[in-house]
Amino acid sequence: MRDKTAAGRDASRFMPSRFRLGALATAATYAMGAACARATDLLGQPTPGGYDMQPAGDQLKRSVIFFHNDILMPIITAICVFVLALLIYVCVKFRKENNPTPSNFTHNTTVEIAWTAAPVLILMFIAIFSFRLLYAYHDMPRPDMTVKVTGNQWYWNYAYPDHGAFTFDSLILPEAKANAVGKPYRLGVDNPLVVPVGKVVRVLVTGADVIHDFALPAFGLKTDAIPGKVNETWFKADKPGIYYGQCSELCGVDHAFMPIEIDVVDEPKFNAWVLGHGGKLNAKVLGGGGGAAPAESPASAGTTMPAGTTVGPSTAAPAAMPVSTAVKPPAAQTTRPAKLTGATTSSASPDSGG
């Protein structure tokens, strides 16, 4: 009778383990179902309950996601599992009951070589993909247009030097107005940055007061806005849509109220938006120069324009860039004003990249 009771106690001891395994299996099933149900992440903004990176809006961000998910995470997971297995093995194998007399050796050449060489090889493998990604960020294709971004406390200022150098401020929307227009609060703004889809956009980033950071996750952008310095980055949006970001550098009491909104539209809408803001159309964005371009050539035949500096239609070019300014020798650029304007930033940007 005692044996049956003991056997019953032994059997009941394993009941919770079976229940726990069943609960874990059920939780895993629900987690997989939730992951499948959440497969369509929101484009350009955070997804409620999301745990992965935002969907990529351009090729650079796709490279970032590949580097993180397919290169770094498997290596990190394997190292963590290996170290945990070693700890469990040591705790079980070399506990006091099994080793009343501990060993007293202090060196093992083979082990020391292994734990030195293995991390070096792992880091070299990671460096191959890391350096490729860094090079892609700095190897900007020939830009189709340039946008100058200036961080202020606590709003952004945008300038379009290739489209008549018009500027405007971009401020956060109040909560009531954001809800009324269907934009997420603390991400929606009154005047978004507008760019055409499928075009290489060079972004010149600087600051007016303190250090800010121009960050937009869907494009993989994160560039410091430093007063007195112009940093350079770029992106090429794959599809139209609204993409949100925020200042990512602590810049004061209202740092959390400094959102970024980039509206990616097709070319006709972008051209109409530029004209509606008093700007001028850029021949490069329109897909080629017009018939008025040769009229500008006699005045600028002996001048080599910097990369990315474009001349629009002949009716606007003389007012936007006088000949005396364009042919000024490089030595004269040392006297440029401390607060950069759209025109001087555009011409100086190739030598002042971040």
Dihedral sign (CA 315, 321, 322, 324): negative
Looking at per-residue pLDDT, the higher value among 107 and 74 belongs to 74
- DSSP-derived secondary structure for 220-242: TEEEEE-BT--EEEEE--SS-EE
Q: 306: Cβ–Cβ under 8 A, 6 or more apart, which residues?
A: 346, 347, 348, 349, 350
d(CA 199, CA 258): 26
- The pLDDT > 90 percentage for the chain reads 60
Instruction: Write out pLDDT tens, residues 159-180.
Output: 999 999 999 999 999 999 999 9
- Residue 101: predicted pLDDT: 83
Backbone conformation region of residue 103, classed left if phi is above 0, alpha if psi is from -120 to 50, else beta:
beta
Q: What angle do CA 145, 147, 152 make, to 5 degrees?
A: 180
What does pLDDT average to over the chain? 77
Q: What angle do CA 263, 345, 160 make, to 5 degrees?
A: 30
Which CA distances in Å does 231 have to 67, 116, 199? Answer: 24, 38, 20
CB 54 within 8 A of CB 218: yes
Which of 43-47, 108-112, 295-299 shows the lowest per-residue confidence on average (mean pLDDT)? Answer: 295-299
Three-state secondary structure of 69-118: HHHHHHHHHHHHHHHHHHHHHHHHHCCCCCCCCCCCCCCCHHHHHHHHHH
- Residue 286: predicted pLDDT: 59
- Residue 323: predicted pLDDT: 36
Looking at per-residue pLDDT, the higher value among 210 and 317 belongs to 210
Q: Which amino acid is at 284?
A: K
Q: Which amino acid is at 183?
A: K
In the numeric block, which tokens belong to residue 321? 């860039």
- Give pTM, 2 decimals: 0.67
Instruction: Write out pLDDT tens, residues 255-289.
Output: 999 999 999 999 999 999 999 999 998 766 655 44
Prior bond of 154 cis (ω within 30°): yes
Residue 122 has pLDDT above 60, yes or no: yes
CB 313 within 8 A of CB 289: no
CB 161 within 8 A of CB 346: yes
> What is the CA 228 to chain-centroid distance, rounded?
23
- Residue 263: predicted pLDDT: 97
Residue 300 has pLDDT above 50, yes or no: no
Residue 14 has pLDDT above 90, yes or no: no
- Residue 94: predicted pLDDT: 86
